[in-house]
């Protein structure tokens, strides 16, 4: 069910990620950014898919509570290695360890999306699962890549939109921006359902 109002509702991206901000700018709709105050600690035994969905919705709800008239986007991405969540490495050493574990293997990047509008009661979630096949990387290649791009703020320690593409054998996805952090095809659909008009 679509909700609409006589005036366009403000759009808020509930994320401090510059990658998500740059992706949302592609839609050429005005928006503001707000930082969600959400504990991102996985729950015991929580599957990567469930973690991503829970955090995306929690982020959208947290920001919607501060901007009740706005349509709010929340998103989260978790790298899924055989059911184990891999988050942002944060340090060089953890990034090395992640890439060593992922070399020659397929990792599923679970990118969850939530759109919430408190004023209308609209709430919807979706998930894009992206299969990424990593090359059989040697330690030298891992070290050279990390020194060149320092992707310590990226789940899975690689930026596919940058030099990280050279680490990969294949990407399988039905939403090409999902791997970067915001599945725009799904975002457009949910924003329309929330009552926003897109170009």
Active site residues: 76
84-86/122-134 β-pairing: unpaired
C-beta of residue 14 within 8 angstroms of C-beta of residue 63: yes
Give the alpha-carbon dihedral of 65, 14, 16, 157, to 10 degrees. Answer: 130
Listing DSSP states for 115-176 in one string gives EEETTTTEEEEEEEEEEEEEP---HHHHHHHHHHH--TTSTTS--TTTGGGGGEEEEE-SST
Residue 71 and residue 154: Cα distance in Å, rounded?
A: 26
169-184 burial, b if ≥16 CB within 10 A, otherwise e? eeeebebebbbbbbbb
Question: 33 has which bridge partners?
Answer: 13
72-87 burial, b if ≥16 CB within 10 A, otherwise e? bbbbbbbbbbeeebbb
């Amino acid at each position: 069910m679509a909700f609409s109002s006589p005036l366009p509702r403000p759009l808020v991206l509930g994320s401090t990620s510059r990658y998500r901000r740059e992706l949302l700018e592609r839609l050429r709709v005005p928006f503001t950014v707000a930082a969600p105050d959400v504990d991102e600690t996985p729950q015991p035994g929580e599957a990567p898919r469930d973690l991503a969905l829970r955090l995306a919705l929690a982020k959208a709800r947290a920001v919607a509570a501060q901007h009740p008239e706005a349509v709010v986007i929340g998103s989260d991405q978790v790298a899924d290695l055989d059911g184990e969540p891999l988050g942002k490495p944060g340090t060089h050493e953890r990034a090395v360890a992640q890439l060593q574990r992922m070399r020659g293997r397929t990792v599923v990047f679970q990118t969850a999306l939530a759109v919430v509008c408190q004023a209308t009661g609209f709430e919807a979630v979706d998930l894009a699962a992206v299969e990424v096949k990593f090359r059989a990387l040697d330690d030298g290649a891992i070290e050279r890549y990390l020194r060149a791009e320092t992707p310590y703020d990226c789940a899975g320690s690689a930026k596919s939109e940058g030099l990280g593409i050279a680490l990969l054998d294949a990407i399988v996805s039905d939403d090409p921006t999902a791997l970067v952090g915001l599945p725009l095809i799904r975002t457009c659909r949910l924003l329309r359902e929330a009552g926003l008009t897109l170009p």
